[in-house]
Amino acid sequence: MRSRILARTLVSAVTVVGIAAGSLATAGSSFAASEPVAKPAAGSGEISTLATNNLGLTAAQAENVQRWLVKHWDYNDAIDGQLGTNSWKAFQRALKAHWGYPGAIDGDPGENTVKALQRLLKKGYGYGGAIDGDPGKGTQIAFKKFSERAPSARPNGLR
């Protein structure tokens, strides 16, 4: 009888360890999947990083922004809900034309891009914070409002 109890206890302990090890392995692969995807750069043998930055938007909200960019800012890449380099290049063209973006059209949503975006969001999308280039909670909430209106109307006089 004791040997059965000991055997069950041992089997249970091995099962728990196996499940824990499997969970750790799965957790490791899920973290790896969230890293930026690498793809070959056009016309070169080098690998470049394709980063996306939705600034808090869901994929559906980002698709709305991409549709607006197609309609108004010569965006011609996929409507995939991932605001990557080409999406941000198109957005930077809008921000440069109307909202004081001073930088290069490089597709990097850095501090100057966010400052220009904040100026846009202040004009009718509920952003009340500082023009500081920090894409914090207030910027993200206002950007969500922009995304909800983007496909159906021209935001505040943008072409």
What does each of the 159 residues of the chain score in pLDDT, given as a tens digit? Answer: 555 554 455 445 445 444 544 544 444 444 444 444 444 444 433 333 446 788 889 999 999 999 999 988 888 888 999 999 999 999 999 999 999 999 999 999 999 999 999 999 998 899 999 999 999 999 999 999 999 987 554 444 444
Residues 29 and 93 in one domain: no
User: Structural domain of residue 74, as residue ranges?
Assistant: 59-157
Same domain membership, residue 133 and residue 83: yes
Q: Strand, helix or coil at 49?
A: strand
| Residues 78 and 31 placed together within one structural domain of the fold | no
Same domain? For 35 and 66 the reply is: no
Distance, CA of 92 to CA of 85 (rounded, Å): 10
Does 16 share its domain with 67?
Answer: no
Residues 74 and 46 in one domain: no
Report the domain count for the chain: 2
90 and 141 housed in the same domain: yes
Global confidence as pTM? 0.64
Claim to verify: residue 101 and residue 124 sit in the same structural domain = yes
CA–CA distance, 144 with 149 (Å, rounded to integer): 9
DSSP 35: S
